[in-house]
Structures are given as structure tokens and as C-alpha cells.
Structure 1
Amino acid sequence: MDKNPLQPEAVLLNAALQAARDLGLDTQLEQREPKRAAARAGAVVRIGRRGKGQQYVAEVRRLLRPANLGATLHQLDLQAAVHDMPGLLVADYINQDMADALRKQGRAFLDAAGNAYIEQPNVLIWATGRKPVAKTEAPQAGRAFQPTGLQVLFALLCHPEWVTLPYRELAARAGVAHGTVGWVMPDLQRQGFVADLKGKRGTRRLFEGERLLALWADAYARQLRPRTLMGRYYVPALAGWEEWPLGQYGAQWGGEPAGALLTNYLTPGELTLYADKLPGPLAARYRFAKEADMGHKAVVEVRHRFWHFPEDEMAAPCVPPVLVYADLLATGDARCIETAKRLYEDHVARLVRQV
């Protein structure tokens, strides 16, 4: 019996490379799981034809969905920049809509079903419409990446120094039960994200912040974000949204409007606000409607504010940048992903690169 069986991601990578060979491409796995600085790639592969080809740094992702596509692409971009080579997205299955979006952005991809987009000098592979050959099991990411665990991780990513807080205080700020922190911390220690410096008690800190953020953003989009939606409403127009006095109603901007305010780059296509409950007076003032009609076509999402940070942060115009970043990526929209990249460099990177 093989004492060192391949991990599911390695099996997936092998299957995708075989599917590429079936399309007439030459493939070679040159390095598995290369590490450089904080970036971790799934592999470095060479793909081409007739002795000529291109090196790619690959991001291997099981259960790729529109909700976590943005987080996956940003992680791939970070790896590509660090390793100084183009990125290759490898997945179990990429549906037609995602394939079209990836090709439009010029992003190379392969999946295990045989769908692919590879463009090089004298090489063009564009194959879509092939169905997945088998159902993929969800990756086991540990209890820390379950919904309430993700709330704890959110608090730690926003404030890495809180890793030293008593469990009860951290739980209160994350909006979870005390016992939740009690099982999240050991799981983070097991995965190498939390440890005591030189084994000394009282010196606990976070490690590998960039990788932790990438995993959190992916899991957040799939597991926690859908639970935060309290309602989707329609208003007559988005013009003048910057003047909405959210603070008077205990609410904060998130998503696209927060991205616009923090980067001065994006024009929101819809509005997202976070609050403890639907701010009724605000909804009445701006004529929220539950159904779209001729006079109500602009979208406003109201999401639950699940955290309990210090008062000055809860009164800020926008939710924490880590959440804005994740929400923008979760849209899967190219302009939102670009805004998320800018937000990452300006507001988020300093938090995760210090750990």
C-alpha cells in the first residue's frame, strides 16, 4: 500500500494535465507546491506543443464556484507576481459562464473534464461544454473554516493582535459563543496559523497571514456570506448614495459602495449596507421596495453585521476593509475584482503581511 498517497489537489492536477494531453497539448509537471516568500502555488507546470511551451504557476482549486472565483483569481495573481510567470487556473470543473469570463480576461485554465483555454504563440486551445466526470467532494478545511469559525478568523484578520485576548473577550468581538473560540484556536494551531513564540506561553501570535486570508475569503464566500443576507431591496435610483446618512441609522457601507469610498476607483452597480437589523426609517426615507418595478430598479442589499468591534469601528462609514475585500471578490465581477486588488494593496496587505 502507498504510504504517501497523493493529496486530492495533486490527483486533480494530474487529471487536468491528462485532459490537456488528450487535447493534443504537451504537459510537464516541473515542481509541486513551490514556496517563495508568503506565496504558495499548487505547482509549476509547462504546457505547449511540439517542443515549445510556456511555464505557468498553477492554482489548483476543488469546487470552484462563481462565489469563490474572485478570491481564487486574486490568489493566483499574487502567486504569478511572486513567481514571475503567468498563472494557470486548474479546477475539477469550470462551467460555460465561468469559462467565457476567464477567456474574456485572458486567463489560462484547465479542468479535469477537458475544458480549457490556453493561448500561446501558434497555440490556441478553447474547449468548453464538457461535463464533469465525477462528483467532487468538498475539501476538508478544518473546523476553523466553518461559519462561526470564519467569524473568529475575521476578527483576527482585522486585528491580528487580538490573538492574545482571553477567549471570552475574543468571542464577544467575533459575535460567537465562548466555546467556539475554544475549538477554533486548537484547529488554527494544528494548521500552523497560530503558535507561541519559541513555545513560551503568553507569546501567541498569528502566522502566514496572507495564506490565511486567501483561505478565509474563499470559505467566507461559500459558507458565511450567504447567511448574512437579510434582504434584497429596490430603490428608485442610486444617484446620491454618498449622502445617505447611514450612521444615523446604525448602518455601514459594505461591498461596492465601500470599495468606491476606500479606493476612489469603482462606481457602484448596486449598494450593500450592513446593520444589526433592517433600519426601518432609512428604508422608508429612501423608499425601499421588496419587488422591482418601473420606479424601483436599483438594488440595495442589507446584510447582517455579525461582529462586535470597538465603538469607533462600528460607527465608521464603512465595514472593515477585510470584509469589503472579500465581498468584492465574491461578486465575480471583473471591475469589482480589480477594485479588491487595489483595496488589498492599500488597506489589507499591511494587516496580513505583518504576521
Structure 2
Amino acid sequence: MFNSNEHALSLNAESFPSLLRDLLGELGLRSELLAADDAEREGNGRGDAVLRLATRAGATRTYLVEVRHRLTPELATSISVPARLPALLVASYVSEPVAERLRARGIDYVDTAGNAHLAWDDVLVDIRGRRKPAVPRSRTSPSGSGAFGRAGLRVLFVLLSWPEMAARPYRVLAEASGVSLGTVKTVIDELTAAGYLYQGAEDRRLARGGELLDRWSEAYSITLHGSLALGEFSVDDLSWWPDSESEMRSLGIQVGGEAGAGLIDPHLRPASLTLYAGQLPARLIGRHRMAQVEGRGNVHIRKRFWHVPGAESWLVPSPLIYADLLASGDPRQREHGDRIRTIDDRLVRLGGS
């Protein structure tokens, strides 16, 4: 019998191999995480591991594993499917709406509650309906999960966008992210305990920036993204916005989403416009005849939630552009996100830290 409480722990680098072996072992499967050289030969694309599974009857399959701490149906829609290897998603919990989308896309999964779907050849493992395991709370999580609440995500955004801010006083970080000093201290403590922040004698600096960007983007789409909406609008012609830099700067408006991605990579052809502003820009809305709509339009206006003096641009920082592309739930935008992650200087530096 699967004991979900036994496995209700963080999917961190230290616990992952033994946790995955236990989860799959209780499904009657032998698992082998490939060594780094073998994994590089077998896998392709961004993944967290390459795993070889075998049944008692000897049937085998090799997966590219992707670990996700939390998932929404939108994120399930945008997960990239590798070209050479089938994907196996490992998560703390996979709800039925998420599971339905993963099964429809041919992505196998297993979670710490005991839900699983693994299908190849004559092999089928299909376990549904297990409840999300209860995880006891502690003051400081070894995985840094306490830093990923709504207020903590604002601090993380500032650190990811301007890594040099990690060395600044708590007061400066609080002003830049619009949160309390207590929240900043909690985030710094959590990140340090989880190994995402190096705390030296005289300075602090980010570590494992690419992994932190992955976790922040995932949590942003679930926790913060929806709360930023100021309004959804529709406009027949979007051709005006690339020539509106001076107008937007004068109104304190910044461009994000796939329009922002299009400014990073001119090969991209955005079909929507995402704007960040302190409040609804009535003048811009009226001038370009934007019609407010219920549901989703092609112009998304969101609340700007940061203030870093001297760093103003009409383009929002690229970590937010990347996160918005993932949060859209659109596989095409997810592909744009993967592309800018390889060419934008800021994102490339994070990935190398």
C-alpha cells in the first residue's frame, strides 16, 4: 500500500534519487538514473535527469525527467515535449485537471501522493484520485519553499532581474520589491538555507540562478500572475505599439509577455501585447481604441510591482518576460520562452551561475 505521508517531502537535489526510486519501486518498477555522460548521450533538451525504467517482465523505457514542485493546467499545456526521449514529469502533486492534460499530450507522470500514469508498449500504470499529502510546516524549508509566497516572489524577481541587488541592505530590497523588511529577511534566510544565495563575510550573491529562475517562474504563474491583472482589452490593430516607446515611457508603461520577447528576438511575431503600469493608462486605452473584454483579449494590462531606481526601461526585465510566456499556457509562447532563454544576456548569465 502506498504511504503518501512517507513521501511527503521536498523534491530537492539531495532527496530526489532515493525518493524517485521508492515511488517507482512501489509501482513494481526498477529505476536507474543514468550517469552524467550516459544521460548527455541519451537525452536532449532541458531536463532534470534521464531515467531508465524496467518492469519485472523485462520491458524497459528511457525517459527525460522534469521535476515540478507545483503545476497548473496552463503549465501542463506549455511543458515542452522532448524530441528524442519520452517525458516523465515528477511532481509533489498532480491534480486530475493537470493529469488529464498530461495524458492527452502523452506525458507520463508520477507524484508523491501515489498518482501515476506510465504507458508504453504493453505496459500501463494508471493510478488516480490519491489526495495531496499533508506536509508539516517548519520555519525554514531546506528547499527554500517559504520564499515562494506572493510577497516573497516579488523579492525573488528583483534578485533575478538585478543579481547585484543581493548584496544591498534589506531596506533597499524592501523598497525595490514593495514588501516589508520582515519579508526580505525571510526570503534571504530561506534562499541561503536552500543554497540559492551565498552569504559571505562581506557580500551576498546568487547561486544556481537557472534553477531558481525555473522555480520562480513556476510559482509566479500559480501565485502572483493572476493577482496582477488590471484589465483585458481587445484591439483590431496591434501594429502601433513598436513605435510607441516615447509615449509609453512618458506614461510609465513597460512592455512584457510575447511582445517583450519580440523586442529581444526580432524573429518572433507577437500576437498579443502585455503592458505593466502603475494604474490603468486611460490615455493610451482611449487613443488606441482598446475595448475592454470579459475573459482574455489581445492586450493584457498588469500592475507593475517593483521599483528599482535607475533601471527603468520600456522593456520589463527578461525573467518576467520568460515567466509570462510560460504562464500563458500557450505552447507557442513556451517555445518563445525557451528561445529567449538562450539568447538574452541576463537569462544566459542566470543559467550559468
Displacement of 1:280 after TM fit?
A: 1.1
> 1:229 corresponds to which letter in structure 2?
A
Compared CA separation, residues 182 and 146, structure 1 to 2 (3 A): same
Query: Which residue number corresponds to residue 340 of structure 1?
Result: 337
Q: How does 1:199-348 map to 2 (within 5 A)?
A: 201-244=201-244, 245-291=247-293, 298-311=297-310, 313-316=311-314, 318-347=315-344, 348=346
Displacement of 1:137 after TM fit?
A: 4.5
Write the deviation string for residues 128-154 of structure 1: whole angstroms up to 9, x where unpaired. xx7522234579753311111111111
> 2:117 corresponds to which letter in structure 1?
A
Q: How does 1:7-18 map to 2 (within 5 A)?
A: 7-8=8-9, 9=11, 13=20, 17=24
Q: How does 1:61-100 map to 2 (within 5 A)?
A: 61=68, 63-69=70-76, 73=79, 86-91=86-91, 92-93=93-94, 95=96, 99-100=100-101
Displacement of 1:213 after TM fit?
A: 1.2
SS at match of 1:260: helix
Write the deviation string for residues 242-301 of structure 1: whole angstroms up to 9, x where unpaired. 3344223221111121122222344333321111111110011122233369xxx95311
Which whole-Å CA distance do the structure 2 matches of 1:181 and 1:33 have between them?
A: 38
Stretch of structure 1 that moved more, 172-181 or 28-37: 28-37
TM-score (norm 1): 0.76
Displacement of 1:85 after TM fit?
A: 5.8
From 58, 62, 66, give the equivalent of 1:55: 62
Compared CA separation, residues 291 and 335, structure 1 to 2 (3 A): closer
Compared CA separation, residues 54 and 298, structure 1 to 2 (3 A): same
SS at match of 2:184: helix
Compared CA separation, residues 94 and 50, structure 1 to 2 (3 A): farther
Paired residues, what number? 326
Stretch of structure 1 that moved more, 238-247 or 298-307: 238-247
Query: Which residue number corresponds to residue 173 of structure 1?
Result: 176
> 2:308 corresponds to which letter in structure 1?
F
**1:350 aligns to 2:348 (yes or no):** yes
Stretch of structure 1 that moved more, 182-191 or 240-249: 240-249
Which whole-Å CA distance do the structure 2 matches of 1:333 and 1:309 have between them?
A: 30
> Contact (CA 8 Å) 1:70, 1:329: kept in 2 or not?
no
Compared CA separation, residues 259 and 142, structure 1 to 2 (3 A): same
SS at match of 2:348: helix
Stretch of structure 1 that moved more, 47-56 or 271-280: 47-56
From 127, 149, 152, give the equivalent of 2:155: 152
Compared CA separation, residues 190 and 165, structure 1 to 2 (3 A): same
**1:142 aligns to 2:145 (yes or no):** yes
Compared CA separation, residues 158 and 33, structure 1 to 2 (3 A): farther
Which whole-Å CA distance do the structure 1 matches of 2:250 and 2:149 have between them?
A: 33
> Contact (CA 8 Å) 1:63, 1:136: kept in 2 or not?
no
SS at match of 1:135: coil
Query: Which residue number corresponds to residue 187 of structure 1?
Result: 190
Gaps of at least 5 residues in structure 2 are: 1-5, 41-45
Q: Give the fraction of aligned pairs with identical amino acids, expressed as a percent.
A: 31
Displacement of 1:225 after TM fit?
A: 1.3
> 1:287 corresponds to which letter in structure 2?
R
Displacement of 1:94 after TM fit?
A: 5.3
TM-score (norm 2): 0.76
Write the deviation string for residues 164-214 of structure 1: whole angstroms up to 9, x where unpaired. 1112122222222333222221121111112234xxx11322211111111
Which whole-Å CA distance do the structure 2 matches of 1:261 and 1:175 have between them?
A: 27
> Contact (CA 8 Å) 1:33, 1:42: kept in 2 or not?
no
Query: Which residue number corresponds to residue 116 of structure 1?
Result: 117
**1:162 aligns to 2:160 (yes or no):** no
Query: Which residue number corresponds to residue 199 of structure 2?
Result: 196
Gaps of at least 5 residues in structure 1 are: 22-26
Compared CA separation, residues 307 and 133, structure 1 to 2 (3 A): same
Displacement of 1:14 after TM fit?
A: 6.7
SS at match of 1:29: strand
SS at match of 1:314: coil
> Contact (CA 8 Å) 2:8, 2:133: kept in 1 or not?
no
> 1:169 corresponds to which letter in structure 2?
V
SS at match of 1:224: helix
> Contact (CA 8 Å) 2:191, 2:197: kept in 1 or not?
yes
Which whole-Å CA distance do the structure 2 matches of 1:266 and 1:98 have between them?
A: 31
> Contact (CA 8 Å) 1:158, 1:322: kept in 2 or not?
yes
> 1:64 corresponds to which letter in structure 2?
L
